Every structure is written in C-alpha cells, then in structure tokens.
A = this chain, B = another copy of it.
Amino acid sequence: MGLVAVTWMNCLGRCLPQKTRFLHTLKGRQSDQILMSPSLASLDLPDTWTPNSSCQSIPDIRKSFNEQTPTVIDGKLMATEIRSKIADQVRQMKKCLGKVPGLAVILVGQRRDSLTYVHNKIIACEEVGMKSVVTELPTDCADADVQNAVMRFNKDPSIHGILVQLPLPQHLDEEKILDALCLEKDVDGFHPLNMGNLSLRGREPLFIPCTPKACIELLIRSGVKIMGKKAVVIGRSNIVGLPTSLLLQRHHATVTIVHAFTENPEQITSEAEIVVSAAGVPSLVRGNWIKSGATVIDVGTSPVEDPSSEDGYRLVGDVCFEEVKKVASVITPVPGGVGPMTVTMLLVNTLDSAKRMLNFT
C-alpha cells in the first residue's frame, strides 16, 4: 500500500467502513501509476451526516504552531522524479509501438510570459522523449486562423494533446476556439464538458487541468492531508482558481473561494489549513493572512521588471514569502514551486492521452 492511501485516508478514517477504504485504496494505486494522486472516482465517498443531539458551544479551533522553519516544497525536484517515470513509459511505448506521445502548442502573439511558458513546455517534451510541435500565429490573426490550426491538430494522429496558450489577444473568441478542440486531445482540460465532469461526483474528466492537478500532487507528495481540512482558494479564474476549488472539493476538503468581491479576505484566509493562491497579484497574501502551521501553495506568477535578470523581468508569486514562511508549516516558492509541476502535469496528461488513443497500457 503506497503513500497516497495513507495521505488521504488517515485524517477522517472514522467516516469510512474498512471495506470501502480498501477498495478506494486499490483503485487509486496501480503499479504503473506515475502520480500519487488517486483517481477522482476512487474519491467519491458517501456523505454520512450525524445530526446534532445537543446545542454545544463552539470550540476555538485555532492552535498555535511552534515550529519555526517551514518545509519549502521543492517543485523542481518533485517534477524531476515524475518526469523520469514519464520518460521510462515513453521509451516503453516507443519500443512496443514505434510511436511517442505528441503535443501541439498554438501560440498567438509575442507575450513574453507566454513565450517563456511555451518554451518550457517544449523543452520538457524533449527531455522525456515526446514529440512537440508549435504553431505560431501573429497577434492580429483571425479566429479562423486559430481554429484552422486546432482542426489540423485534431486530425493529426501523431498528436495526442493540443493546447492553445492563454491568454489570447482580446479580439479573439476564446470560447469558440477552445470549443473547437477535440475533447480527447484537450490536455489542458479547459473544455466545459471536462469542467462539468471535474465538478460532478461520480464522474471523471478526461483531463484534469494541469495547475490544479499540480497543486494536489504537491500537497500529497508533501504529506499534507486534504480530506476534511479547511481550504481557501484565492482567485477564481476558469483555468486555475475554479478547477482547483472543484478538485480540492473532490478530495473532501471544505473549500472556500476568496475573490476580489470577498469582504475580509484576510480573515477568511487566516482560518484555512490549506491556502492556494492564484490571484495573480504580487504580494497579495501577507503574513497576517495565514494561520499558524498552514500549508501555502503559491500559484501566482506575475512578471515584474528586473533589469538585473537575463530576460529583463522575473516572475513573482501572490505570497509575501518572507512574511508567510514565518507562520506557515509548508510553503511553495516562486519560481521552483508550482511552475515545474504544472508543466509536468501537462506531460502526464499528454502521456495518458497517447496511452488511451493508442490503447497502450
């Protein structure tokens, strides 16, 4: 029995009859499994409520956290471990079928952060032996140009994953473009049908969006219990905040989404045991936003000018790292936290897609 089972079973084990626990554990573990995250279907536990028999006073749940040094999650190291397993499977696939997974990226315009992200994805594909293709289109291209690129990759049997690098220029119809993407190749998991299946218990999306999937994998690999814990997701973007909240919920956290219209966001956040910040606002999350001993995952990557850097800018997170590290027990850095794991999840999704399409187990 692997680590994953221990991680997500122990905290509220009382809720599960022994047989159910075992079944769910088995489902979540297979010998060739690259990630520690269990399948969503294996997470669907019955909600059994016990009505209160008496009106008790509400206990104070705050506890002080005594340790001084938090665990700084090394997303790069985790990513390296996972990518090495992916590379193994890609080699096996090549040996057995003479084929490798293929990823197609469509990049519109020259946003420098988008260029960096696409570059990282291509390098990552190369490192694990996957094929990758990039179609670059000018900023002023038409909807039809992007849709045509999508259609071409939809039909290409050597391509198992397609992603349109977001954000697109304002004049393009993101909804129409994403809807054109063949569901079986939507490795970003942004199609509304995927999102619906992510939110509905009993259902399983073809692909879990990469950043939310990375956050969960980081938590599980860091030994952070999710089930029953209070989690706050800051930000509710369609590509990170929303699916992260849905995924944490499928993992049985008690999730609150804090957004720009939330009153007292710092007060609500300071009650959470797990905080995932994806607002894209540098230094939004201060030390006083965080409960002692909480786990803090920083998804923010805002480019800020930095003449001393090679590219003239650097990426900064949502979290005041220096302040928050004094109160959190587990924290991700930016860069080197969620970023490398997000790219890794893209590789996992592309590999899974190729395995599904080529019927390779």
Interface residues of A (CB under 8 A from B): 12, 15, 45-49, 51-52, 55-59, 61, 174-175, 191-197, 199-203, 227-230, 235-238, 242, 246, 249, 252, 254-264, 266-268, 270, 279, 281-284, 286-288, 323
Q: Which of A58, A202, A229, A260 has the most CB of B within 10 A?
A: A260
A-B interface, 7 closest residue pairs, ranked by CB to CB distance from nearest: A192-B196, A196-B196, A47-B260, A195-B196, A256-B256, A254-B262, A252-B261
By a CB distance below 8 angstroms, the chain B residues around A236 are: 47, 201, 249
Q: Is the CB of A199 within 8 A of B199?
A: yes
Q: Is the CB of A254 within 8 A of B260?
A: no
| A282 to B51 alpha-carbon distance, docked (Å) | 8
Give the contacting residue for A238; candidates B56, B175, B201, B286; CB below 8 A.
Answer: B201
| A177 to B323 alpha-carbon distance, docked (Å) | 52
| A55 to B324 alpha-carbon distance, docked (Å) | 12
By a CB distance below 8 angstroms, the chain B residues around A48 are: 260
Q: Which of A47, A203, A283 has the most CB of B within 10 A?
A: A47
Q: Is the CB of A61 within 8 A of B193?
A: no
| A223 to B237 alpha-carbon distance, docked (Å) | 28
Chain B residue nearest to A270 in the complex (CB): B58
Chain B residue nearest to A45 in the complex (CB): B261
Chain B residue nearest to A194 in the complex (CB): B196
User: Can you add 20 more A-B contacts, CB < 8 Å, to A51-B282, A55-B286?
Assistant: A12-B261, A15-B260, A15-B261, A46-B260, A47-B236, A51-B281, A51-B284, A52-B284, A52-B286, A175-B203, A192-B197, A195-B195, A195-B196, A199-B242, A200-B238, A201-B237, A227-B261, A252-B261, A254-B261, A255-B256
Q: Is the CB of A228 within 8 A of B262?
A: yes
A354 to chain B, nearest CB (A): 24
With A49-B284, A286-B55 known to touch, is A200 a contact of B242 (CB < 8 Å)?
yes
Give the contacting residue for A266; candidates B58, B200, B270; CB below 8 A.
Answer: B58
Chain A's interface: helix, strand, loop or mixed, by majority?
loop
| A217 to B260 alpha-carbon distance, docked (Å) | 24
A17 to chain B, nearest CB (A): 14
A40 to chain B, nearest CB (A): 13
Q: Is the CB of A202 within 8 A of B51?
A: no
A270 to chain B, nearest CB (A): 7
Q: Is the CB of B254 within 8 A of A55?
A: no
Q: Which of A175, A193, A200, A257 has the most CB of B within 10 A?
A: A200
Q: Is the CB of B201 within 8 A of A192?
A: no
Q: Is the CB of A47 within 8 A of B230?
A: no
Query: Could you give 25 example pairs across A and B, Cβ below 8 Å?
Result: A15-B260, A47-B235, A47-B260, A49-B281, A51-B283, A52-B266, A52-B283, A52-B286, A55-B287, A58-B266, A58-B288, A174-B202, A194-B196, A195-B196, A199-B242, A200-B242, A228-B261, A229-B263, A252-B259, A254-B257, A254-B258, A254-B262, A254-B268, A255-B256, A255-B257
| A267 to B52 alpha-carbon distance, docked (Å) | 13
Chain B residue nearest to A241 in the complex (CB): B47
Q: Is the CB of A259 within 8 A of B193?
A: no
By a CB distance below 8 angstroms, the chain B residues around A197 are: 192, 196
By a CB distance below 8 angstroms, the chain B residues around A192 are: 193, 196-197, 200, 203
| A260 to B175 alpha-carbon distance, docked (Å) | 36
